[in-house]
Amino acid sequence: MNLFSQLQSAGAQSARETAERQRQQAEWMERKAKGLSKRRSGLADALRRRLPTTADTAITLDEIRALLTDIDYIDSGLSAALSYGVNAKEFARTGEKYSYCYYRHPVAEKGSS
């Protein structure tokens, strides 16, 4: 293989790698724009289904962990999902810092004000 063909091959490989990086970046930006990442979306869905709906029945972080024993997650992922849900006003928290209790806002039925 001569030098010219080696340079052509290296250029083609570089172009393929650049295209793959751009594809991955575009996919990530699309997920980010939707407010989801692969890891957090399953955890957030589980939180939406399992958290209580009133402040009177709000549960602590330890109780939430007990509800999620069937899901593989990391603690930072749980904290991020809860923070994201609170900021998006899907979940609410009561209590003092380091001892918050969490609950989800009830979903309004269609047709009601």
Please write the tens of the pLDDT for every residue from 55-82.
999 999 999 999 888 887 777 788 888 9
15-29, 32-46, 96-110: segment of lowest average pLDDT? 32-46
User: Do residues 9 and 31 touch, judged by C-beta distance below 8 A?
Assistant: no
CA distances (Å), 4 to each of 7, 9, 14, 78, 90, in order? 5, 9, 15, 53, 59
112 vs 53: which has the higher pLDDT: 53
Tokens describing residue 73: 């997650």
What is the average pLDDT score of the chain?
83
Q: How high is the pLDDT of residue 113?
A: 46
List helix spans (H) across the chain. Answer: 3-33, 38-50, 61-67, 75-87
Q: Compute the CA torsion angle 105, 106, 109, 111 (nearest 10 deg).
A: -40
Tokens describing residue 107: 């979903």
pTM flag (> 0.75): no
